[in-house]
Amino acid sequence: MFFHFILLVASSVTFLCTHYVSSCGSSCTEYPVFTPSALVVKYGDPANVTCVACQKDCSGDASGLEHAVGKVTQNGTTMLWTVDRLIEWGISVMCYHNNDAGDQCCSTLDLSIYQSPESVSISFVNHTEMMFENQQYTLQCSVQNVAPVQSLTVTFYRGNTALGHLQSNSEQKKPVNETFTLNITPRREDNGAQYWCEAKLELGPAGPQPPPVVTSEKLKLTLQPFGGRNGQATWKRGSSRRFIFHFMCLKILFSALM
């Protein structure tokens, strides 16, 4: 029983020692400050940030910086974190100091790692046949290998006209493939229009300016009318072949058969 109690105490002490840096005290009057306050890094690029653990009432011995990758150079209460290639997703960098009350005062770096879309494509969902005016169809924009997807905005276009802006609800930090859809109902004047989509990573003021943008190819819409004027209809397949049916001739043919 006594042996079990010793093991329990030892385990508790180990837990507190290894997790103490991750807890922030409530008696803190100042917190560590990162410069820059937010860091946006392209996957695979180098990165660095400076942290001042405190301005007063603490020493270098009572401060530090938690990091999973890279290295730290410390000069008193000022620490420089550097990494040659940032290739770890979802990492955290935390700076801290211990105050006189025994509490730990900490700040976590606002760090974003991004990757521009590898490719963007547009297509119609489950539709490869003829298309007609005043019928509803679904456009699909597929974005491949992008991160963070929650910072992605996809815009559908008809020519130069924006039709809608869509965003993902995913909170995944690693690269993902994401599909966005938009319903359209083409009108006669939309025949020949070009539809396309744009994927933009909006990473805020700390991110690259202008934001990374990747666009799809253009998808030409060819409508098949239900009927034409003067007793004829023109049917288009692609942009080269035309088939003209004369309804009067068909009527005569049907009359002869009957």
pLDDT per position as a tens digit, 29-42: 889 999 999 999 99
Q: Domain residues of the chain, as ranges?
A: 25-114, 119-225
Amino acid, single-letter form, for residue 227: G
One fold for both 25-114 and 119-225? Answer: yes
- Residue 238 pLDDT more than 60? no
First-to-last C-alpha distance (Å) of the chain: 104
- The dihedral through the CA atoms of 26, 32, 37, 39 has a sign that is negative
C-alpha 203/C-alpha 201 separation (Å) is 6
This prediction has a pTM of: 0.74
- Residue, of 31 and 254, whose pLDDT is higher: 31
**CB 130: neighbour CB atoms within 10 A?**
11
C-alpha 235/C-alpha 228 separation (Å) is 10
119-225 is classed CATH 3.30.420.40: no
Q: Which fold has domain 25-114?
A: Immunoglobulin-like (2.60.40)
